[in-house]
Amino acid sequence: MSQFPPPPVTPPVQPGPLPVMRPHRGATVLVLGILGLVLCVICGIIAWVMGNEDIRQMEAGQMDPSGLSLTKAGKTCGIVSVAINCFVLAIWLLFICGGVLLGAAGGM
């Protein structure tokens, strides 16, 4: 027999439950961003808002970060969509206001 006592038995460490992460919506954000560029500005606004929220949740560890690049691309498309539509609206308003002013000046 050995003169040393047996080593203490430590219970095996059970891994805790993995944190539950929501699945990413990168493809949805990207599709909405593209639709915002092609179809209507509302889709671009939705992509921009969803992209901001999803990126925030991915950085906080609450959402699956594997879709980060898709989400960023969709958010960028949404921002570009809104910017282009605002520019087009401003040009359109200039033409309308200019036409009204020219029509009013010519009618005198």
Residue from 88, 90, 91 nearest 37 by CA: 88
In this structure, is residue 21 part of a structural domain? no
Please tell me the pTM assigned to this model: 0.75
SS3 call for 22: strand
**The domain containing residue 86 runs over which residues?**
26-106
The pLDDT value recorded for residue 108 is 53
| Cβ contacts of 65 within 8 Å, gap of 6 or more | 24, 58
In this structure, is residue 64 part of a structural domain? yes
CB burial of 35-64 (b: ≥16 within 10 Å; e: otherwise) equals bbbeeebebbbbbbebbeebbebbeeeebb
Domain count, the chain: 1
Q: Which of 31-35, 74-78, 104-108 has the lowest mean pLDDT?
A: 104-108
The rounded radius of gyration (Å) of the Cα atoms in the chain is: 28
In this structure, is residue 51 part of a structural domain? yes
In this structure, is residue 87 part of a structural domain? yes
Q: Which of 9-13, 43-47, 59-63 has the lowest mean pLDDT?
A: 9-13
The mean per-residue pLDDT over the stretch 58-75 comes to: 95
In this structure, is residue 82 part of a structural domain? yes
